[in-house]
Chains A and B, each alone.
Chain A
């Protein structure tokens, strides 16, 4: 059996969007399990159990799901994509936040951004959620270290 762990938005039609490409490829779905207790930030983890497949077909399914914007977090319990959170402290906006995000996006994808600026002269804080391929995590960390030195930002990571 194959286990696919997905992360879906908690809104109608999302599950269908994930299941349609699988059934279109003629693959048998054993079960669909909602892991609602692990819900965070409006995303629901869902585990789909499929019949046994060869590597190539499995890779094609994952690609098709990702093309349609679905986050595949684990394949057979192996972490593929992960959500990481960071809180950034410093002059986040003045040090060109656009550039910061672009540079992080080279290794992952900033999907959520929250910003607070208590006072123009005081340091601000931002919270970012980044989806990253587990194999790119180290590179992402290195980029954060570089940004931290260049822009005097403090990255507080969830990992």
Chain B
């Protein structure tokens, strides 16, 4: 199976490392010969229809910072041109998230479908803003569209709900879908520190981004809730429909108050009929949603299986790439049948 990778930042490099690591395993277990035929970043691309040397690609990116300097095979074509002209089975789109207009990821995904490729993305922007449109392209061109890595990183949730829990109606999903805010609240609670101090520390440790706005404002969680609502619960909503409150006003005193009453405070995303909400909530100390550190957790209420709870790592390049790999394998298994 041939894949094109668009986006060669932290996640993109994680995907390449995971493919490298699992290549033999995939061959043995599934008989899959996985080739990366193109890697694109903002500088251009490296293209080899026989399959790129992945070690070399990582090295070029590390030393030169630009994949277009890949020896002999580097080009400065625009990404859309690469997607259109290079033959491959799957497009993996992992460019940075843009929650304003979903670009350029939206265009790349659509180009992928138009040129006959199945698409995998980890990108919340286009999914939270243009889910219906992207699905309609996938249908029109009869291609598979998968995006497990967009919500909860390595924590299985989308495919869990749609495949493993198939037959169940999902009535409600509630959980912590942002590791950074969970880390901050956990630390504030344990060490009685104020929000700004813990945020600064989290930034120094690389847990929070230099611009943490999307995380602490609740926007990142809102995007994920929208993806879950559309993909699992058949709703037709966008991020503009979510009521959002972030965690910037939480104080250590409020956490102590909550603790005294047998609760903790978590940034919870919640979706059910007539409710699409992100905000700090009181969670009983003995509730399974009270997970610590940067973990993610989700509770799915279903009609038959009742509550199902998953916990996992919501971030990290290798962790997120594991979700992308599961999508690759799934597409391979679906398309190689008969």
Contacts and interface: CB of A to CB of B under 8 A. Distances in A.
Contacts of B250: 89, 156
B282 A85 contact: yes
Interface string A92-103: 000000000000
A129 B251 contact: no
Interface in B252-305: 253-254, 256-258, 260-263, 265, 279-284
A87 B265 contact: yes
A58 to B, nearest CB: 29
Nearest to B257: A127
Given A123-B251, A129-B261, A156 B280 contact: yes
Interface string B179-221: 0000000000000000000000000000000000000000000
B221 to A, nearest CB: 15
B265 to A, nearest CB: 6
A127 B261 contact: yes
Contacts of B258: 87, 127, 156
Majority DSSP secondary structure for residues of A touching B? strand
A157 interface: yes
B249 interface: yes
A154 B245 contact: yes
Contacts of A156: 250, 254, 258, 265, 279-282
A114 interface: yes
A158 B282 contact: yes
A113 to B, nearest CB: 11
A126 B254 CA distance: 7
- With most chain B CB atoms within 10 A of its CB, the pick from A87, A114, A127 is A87
Nearest to A122: B251
A127 B257 CA distance: 6
A125 B254 contact: yes
A97 to B, nearest CB: 14
Contacts of A26: none
Interface string A78-113: 000000011101100000000000000000000000
A116 interface: yes
A7 to B, nearest CB: 15
A118 interface: yes
Interface in A111-136: 114, 116, 118, 122-127, 129
Contact of B251 (A114, A125, A127): A125
Contacts of A41: 261-262
A146 B314 CA distance: 35
A100 to B, nearest CB: 16
Interface string B221-265: 000000000000000000000000100011101101110111101
A85 B285 CA distance: 13
Contact of B281 (A40, A118, A157): A157
A117 to B, nearest CB: 8
A118 B258 CA distance: 15
Contacts of B283: 158
B301 to A, nearest CB: 14
A106 B283 CA distance: 26
Contacts of A158: 263, 281-284
A95 to B, nearest CB: 15
A126 B256 CA distance: 10
A156 B265 CA distance: 8
A85 B263 contact: yes
Given A118-B251, A124-B253, 17 more contacts: A41-B262, A85-B282, A87-B254, A87-B257, A87-B258, A87-B261, A89-B250, A90-B249, A114-B257, A114-B260, A118-B253, A125-B251, A125-B257, A126-B257, A129-B261, A156-B281, A157-B281
9 contacts: A87-B257, A87-B265, A116-B253, A116-B256, A118-B253, A125-B257, A154-B245, A154-B280, A158-B282
Interface of B: 245, 249-251, 253-254, 256-258, 260-263, 265, 279-284
Interface of A: 40-41, 85-87, 89-90, 114, 116, 118, 122-127, 129, 154, 156-158
List the 6 shortest-distance A-B pairs measured between CB atoms, nearest first: A158-B282, A125-B254, A127-B257, A125-B253, A116-B253, A156-B280
